[in-house]
Amino acid sequence: MTVDATGNPFMAASTLPYGLPDFAAIKDEHYLPAFDAGMAAQLAEIEAITANPEPATFANTVVDMERSGQLLNRVAAVFYNASSSHATEPIQAIEKEVAPRLAAHQDDIYLDAALYRRFLAVPADGLDAESARLLAEYLKAFTRAGAQLDAAAQSRLRGLNAELSTLNTAYSQALLKETNDSALWVADAAELDGLGEDDLATAAAAARTAGHDGGYLLTLILPTAQPALESLTHRDTRRRLFEASVNRGSRGNDAGLLGTAARMAALRAERATLLGFPTHAAFATDDQTAPSLAAIHTLLAALAPAAVANARREEELLAEAAGHPIEAWDWAYYSEQVRREKYSVDLAALRPYFELERVLTHGVFYAAERLYGLTFLERTDLPGYHPEVRVWEVRNADGSQLGLFLGDYYTRDTKNGGAWMDSLVEQSTLLGRKAVVVNNLNIPKPPAGEPTLLTYDEVVTCFHEFGHALHGLFSDVQYPRFSGTNVPRDFVEYPSQVNEMWLLWPEVVANYARHHATGEPLAAAEIEKVKAAAQWGQGFATTEYLGATLLDLAWHELEPGASVADPAAFEERALAAAGVKLAQIPPRYRTGYFSHIFAGGYSAGYYAYIWSEVLDADTVEWFKSNGGLTRANGNLFRGTVLDRGNAADPLASFRNFRGRDAELAPLLARRGLG
């Protein structure tokens, strides 16, 4: 295929610092030609490997494979960040076209019999540990992709992969539209009693942006729980907001998301059988750190009854406070009332102390400075992919360059819900690259000139996502396949969850939690109350999380050929069978808006958060027992875990840090289940 490369910024590596994509030069019309050229170039590179008359060696086969596809990787990294963070109509149209082609391209590589034979012929003797692991990981990837299947099975596999890629895109784009369309418009400010002036101003601005003639618009975040439910005194408004959230994707005029989800689950089940696994869940968990699917179920089964029992006790206290039975839309509101009474803490009242700029620079960055010696310089000379994106250069304690960090914090109607980290450039000594990473959040943007005040949960998210960013930035591996967060799903959340611990660490919170208007620091007594109240609501939090996790597994433990004619009824049965069906506590994500598993990479993998939290809770206890926020501790964690990526077995990395395997007791204590 001949591709016109004239003026296309993707055709050569960026000359900007750290290889930052030249967003100022990138236009929508550049993507498809770059994808075409990138796929053609990589297939030519693969053909050169298979046509090499020399015997297969690690250098002329495995390393050449690692070097292949650089043009394709450049355009894909930028494009798929855009499809999540700024999915305009042209971007969505390109995604629909390119997704099945990329799936076919991957099949062309991993189902290439000559390439597979050449990898099998590579001698493993004499390789260093990282190189030996790379060869083994490639061989496993070929097997998991179907390289050993006969021609008929491979043909069917290609069809399944193509349809799944198309459905993945369809689900993602439909969910973005459905979430925007489901936002709750309220005409009368009296119905929003309980919200602060800043929240009202933000809701009024959102209504204007959406084209409403006055009134207020409560936009939705991705999970079931919506922040405003904690504060709204008007019960019917709470009900309407809750129902807008929980009914996304399953409303009478948009049952398509449920049908798409059911179809994807069926196709995944069929594909798993082709690859020799009984279910998609068995296939998906086969290459994770969890030893088996049975081990995952054992952990979840141990947690669910205790979590539900805790939730029932919480419900009794809420009903007593409310003076009436608790409905799902009442829970968050009365939970905050009880929290205030039991612990004298009002999380909503803390928002004036959590201004975004201070949280970032004096909190998130400050903790990284103290722990790892990092410095951050905002580079206003370097363009982001959207006017709201900011760029920081990150350097080590000795002044050496580490990478670039991009922050994209505000919600917009072209951005997917939730929060995430992406890599725009992956670190690799083989390719001479340092990391360029981005954090995306969905904080409602206040009117111009007003401060951006965060909820407590949004502060947690800032620290969490920056933990992923550090995992990417600190990567110090030779091969790009192992870089940064390219680790098993049930390990990737571990470093990010550990980073949450610093948000209430004494010297960190004292540095950033100041009233945005007066500069007054948040009183130490208030911080202690927040810590004391940490276990309140754990019954609810654990139950809603387990609901989503067990729903994920139910969808992906369907046997091949099983038909789900009524996805909503299937969901109800699955939650009941798992013992987590509580009317007052729907799962954190329902099928109609479970982006992690139907539009992301977490199918049969949402358990990863609790699995990683076992490591996280044990690690937090280690930091507390060993001096906390010190450079020595940071250097040890960085050198044994964060910079290793997947170049070493992740659990071996944990053992190198901790000196032993993780223990469950710290997690049980944290969640009030011990």
Catalytically annotated residues: 465
In three-state secondary structure terms, 635 is helix
Dist CA 268 CA 264 (whole Å): 6
Q: How many CB atoms lie within 10 A of CB 531?
A: 13
Nearest to 668 by CA among 366, 402, 305, 133: 305
Nearest in space to 589 (alpha carbons), one of 576, 578, 575, 601? 575
Give the SS3 label for residue 127.
Answer: coil
Q: What share of the chain is helix, strand, coil (3-state, %, to 5)?
A: 60, 5, 35
Beta strands in 322-477 (DSSP E): 375-378, 390-395, 401-410, 420-425, 435-443
- Residue 50 CA to residue 539 CA, distance in Å, equals 56
Residue keyed to tokens 């009900």: 239
β-strands 420-425, 435-443: how paired? antiparallel
**What does the block give as tokens for 136?**
């083994």
Alpha carbons 635 and 373: distance in angstroms, whole number: 9
Q: Mention every residue, 6+ apart, whose C-beta is less than 8 A from residue 101.
A: 35, 39
Residue 332: which residues within 8 A CB-CB, separation 6 or more? 225, 229, 230
**How far is 441 from 421, CA to CA, in rounded Å?**
9
Closest by Cα among 87, 73, 9, 10 to 39: 73
Structure tokens at 591: 């099928």
What 3-state class would DSSP assign to 582? Answer: strand
Both tokens of residue 444?
Answer: 């409602």
Residue among 136, 144, 165 at smallest CA distance from 481 = 136
Q: Which residues contact 566 (CB under 8 A, 6 or more apart)?
A: none
Cβ 405 vs Cβ 394: under 8 Å: yes
Q: Convert 456-492 into a string of H (helix), E (strand) and C (coil).
A: HHHHHHHHHHHHHHHHHHCCCCCCHHHCCCCCCHHHH
Report the length, in residues, of the chain.
Answer: 674
Residue 513 parent element (H or E): none
CA distances from 66 to 73, 77, 201, 367, 477 (A): 11, 16, 51, 35, 13
